Amino acid sequence: MNKLVLVVCCLTSFDVAANDLFAKADLDAGKALIEKNCISCHASSYGGDGSEIYTRAFHKVESSSALVTQVRACNTNLDLKWFEEEELNAAAYLNKQFYHFE
């Protein structure tokens, strides 16, 4: 039911870039992937839970498509072998939690 509401909201939004990209993303799956594979390294440079890397003043990622590109680059660099769907789940979670692109 929640998913249906989300889809309807997305369809009626005018600013659809991120909504389109992330419409089918599974946020819980994305969160689990990030927690497992990504946080410890960010946390070792930035402290805490590492999330400051996303919210720091001069953060690199400035759009939802750049976010997907960055997640994809990390996936490739780290040789995690995530599927595209998993990259989108992870990016959608980061967007919802930190970046808030529309």
Kindly state the smallest distance separating residue 64's Cβ from ligand HEC, in Å.
Answer: 11
Cα–Cα distance between 92 and 78 in angstroms, integer?
19
AA letter at 64: S
Nearest residue to 72 via CA among 84, 64, 62, 60: 84
Only one of the segments 3-11, 14-22, 34-42 lies at the binding site for ligand HEC (rule: CB under 6 A); that segment is 34-42
**Residue list 35-94, contact with ligand HEC (CB under 6 A):** 37-38, 41-42, 45, 53-54, 59-61, 70-71, 74-75, 78, 80, 90, 94
Kindly state the smallest distance separating residue 23's Cβ from ligand HEC, in Å.
Answer: 19
Cα–Cα distance between 30 and 27 in angstroms, integer?
5
Contact residues: ligand HEC, CB under 6 A? 34, 37-38, 41-42, 45, 53-54, 59-61, 70-71, 74-75, 78, 80, 90, 94
